[in-house]
Structure 1
Amino acid sequence: MRDRPLDVGWLRIFEAVGRLGSLTKAAQELGLSQPAVTYQIRRIEEQLGATLFHRSHGGSRLSEAGEMLYRVVHSGLERIDEAARDIRRRARAPAIRIFTDYGFAAYWLMPRVADFRRLHPHVEVHIVASQSLEDESAGDVDAAVLFGERDDFPEHARLLMPERVVPVCAPGFLTRYGPFEDTAAVARAPLLHLETSGVPRWLTWSTWLAMHGVTREPAQGDLGLNTYGFVIQAALAEQGIALGWIGLVDTFLAAGTLVAVAPEVQRQTFGYWLIPHQPATAATQSLTEWLISQA
């Protein structure tokens, strides 16, 4: 019900016919009969003194006057629907939907959300996680924590956690394959890769090695995985060396289940950025301020 469009009468009917190019399809979408849609369009044409559609067996095509009206009506309805969504979101009981990737959700956000809920027991927090940063479900959220570079995000985005990466592996793997006295020795070991579609925003093994002057082709024994959770699980299972993002692997390093085996690399313009929905609700503002304090 929260996404049901506001009833704005003939505007909605005219827009549907113009967009779909069919009286029948418009009637089906709006839950009306075709005669009712036809009657309403004729009434609009009578009031304007102009033909809005050229009708044929193939459908209804906008006339020149119809095109002029359609551009304004379509744009106006989009803005009305957007305003209605914002009003309905504010009218609901305080609840925050936050979008991020699986790794950040599992290893940084989830362990901390319980603390926020203790401080704000009246606020619900819904975490929407996806490996794709362009996920369709990200549109209807109150805030997002996304990985990338400063220029990837709007001006009001806040840097939550700069990118700091250190190669890690399980102690048993280090015993079998180590010690890794230099970067070249790391390059000779089986590596765990986080696979992404398109140009990767995260640091990759190729980038990390290049920063140390080492080139390496994918080798037998390497393992590619499509989520960071799988990469960490493979590292814990002694399958290879993983790139560990500081902030995500801290608990494993503290517990000794993963150990650092090479120098840390930092990229200050990259990291996790907090992007609150604008304008932010009071509940969203509370969460964003709390996340910044935690980071």
Structure 2
Amino acid sequence: MFLSERLPSAQSLLIFEAAARHKSFTGAAQELKSTQSAVSQQIKGLESYLGIMLFRRIYRGVALTEEGKHLYKAVQEGFQGIASCLETLQKTRLHQVINVATDFAFAAYWLLPRLPRFRELHPKIDVRIITSQGQHDFFGQNVDVAIVFGGANSIHSHVFKLFDEEVFPICSPQLFHDSSPIGSHKKLASMPLLKLGADAGQGWFDWHSYFQGRRSQIVPGEPVLTFNNYTLLIQAAIAGQGVGLGWSTLVDDLIDSKVLVGLREFSLSSDRGYYVVEPRPNELVNAKQHFLDWLWGESPENISG
């Protein structure tokens, strides 16, 4: 049997709750902006529906029967629970939280510098960033949006591609000027090279695959420094400790501000890139959709277009 068939109307229960709380039909009528006679008729209808007496009529008011006391307790607890739930839902709507997962490099060099623009558009949405260096199963975590690096075939349920992979050597301005012109693969390979470890690279180019991708016969020597974190590699490059591989869009701001020099004449592109993934697409959350729309608008292709 459905609840609608087992329960009296919600309106009659609301009127009963008010009358029981005030211990007066008149008091209930004033609160509900009704009349004493209308309240009395609703209570009579409820008692008739239930087949029990809920109130005893006394001088200048009413008193609950034992049955009425039991019903009053249940109705009050039920309505209080509903009111609390609605309050929580309204607060959630006004102040939403989304969890965004990505790698350290993307968070540090692309997302964080742009995030103030999203917060300006949506000040009541909290963005919590979950970072990791390697590939992780974001689908098993409490993640609303994931931004991951890879190829289209290796990434399932992606919403759109944020930007393509383009790689070129980067170094500090001082190291660039102190070195003789870097005009060949041979000269580039002779520079102090900074390497990102395979576990940290998530399938990114290393120096060997980079030279192969450039169709060069040059085999690079051993790097002077190896890192398990791309942000550390960037800091080492800024400090003039060697030449690293820079991913366009991630390092563009550092190049534009002349913190780094990008050797774009040695550029190498692939069909990989950063993809926006929605691990739980069936969960319709306004905050998540706002963030996805914002990412789409921040995509380099959309900005340049």
TM-score bracket relative to the smaller structure = 0.5 to 0.7
Alignment match, 2:269: 266
Change over 3 Å in CA distance of 1:170–1:219 after alignment to 2: same
Deviation at 1:265, TM superposition (A): 1.3
162, 175, 191: which is aligned to 1:173? Answer: 175
Deviation at 1:254, TM superposition (A): 0.6
Deviation at 1:155, TM superposition (A): 3.9
The reply to whether residue 281 of structure 1 matches residue 285 of structure 2 is yes
Residue identity in the other structure for 1:209 = F
When the two structures are superposed, what TM-score results if normalisation uses the length of structure 2?
Answer: 0.62
Deviations 1:51-93 (A, max 9, x none): xxxxxxxxxxxxxxxxxxxxxxxxxxxxxxxxxxxxx999944
When the two structures are superposed, what TM-score results if normalisation uses the length of structure 1?
Answer: 0.65
Alignment match, 1:111: 113
- 8 Å CA contact 1:100–1:133 kept in 2: the answer is no
Residue identity in the other structure for 1:233 = Q
- 8 Å CA contact 1:99–1:128 kept in 2: the answer is yes
- 8 Å CA contact 1:103–1:229 kept in 2: the answer is yes
Larger radius of gyration: 2
Alignment match, 2:242: 240
Alignment match, 1:46: none
CA–CA distance in 2 between the matches of 1:90 and 1:157? 28
CA–CA distance in 2 between the matches of 1:114 and 1:273? 21
- 8 Å CA contact 1:184–1:214 kept in 2: the answer is no
Change over 3 Å in CA distance of 1:285–1:221 after alignment to 2: closer
CA–CA distance in 2 between the matches of 1:94 and 1:165? 37
- 8 Å CA contact 2:134–2:202 kept in 1: the answer is no
CA–CA distance in 2 between the matches of 1:225 and 1:199? 10
Residue identity in the other structure for 2:281 = Q
State the aligned residue count. Answer: 207
Please list, as runs of the form range in 1=range in 2, the aligned pairs for 1:2-17 lying within 5 A after superposition: none
Q: What fraction of aligned residue pairs are identical, expressed as a percent?
A: 32
* Paired residue secondary structure (2:128): strand
Deviations 1:83-108 (A, max 9, x none): xxxxx999944111000000000000
Deviations 1:219-258 (A, max 9, x none): 3552110111011001001111111111111111111121
Deviation at 1:200, TM superposition (A): 4.3
The reply to whether residue 294 of structure 1 matches residue 298 of structure 2 is yes
Please list, as runs of the form range in 1=range in 2, the aligned pairs for 1:198-277 lying within 5 A after superposition: 200-215=202-217, 219-220=221-222, 222-261=224-263, 262-267=265-270, 269-276=271-278, 277=280
Alignment match, 2:46: none
Deviation at 1:130, TM superposition (A): 0.8
Unaligned residue ranges in structure 1 (runs of 5+): 1-87
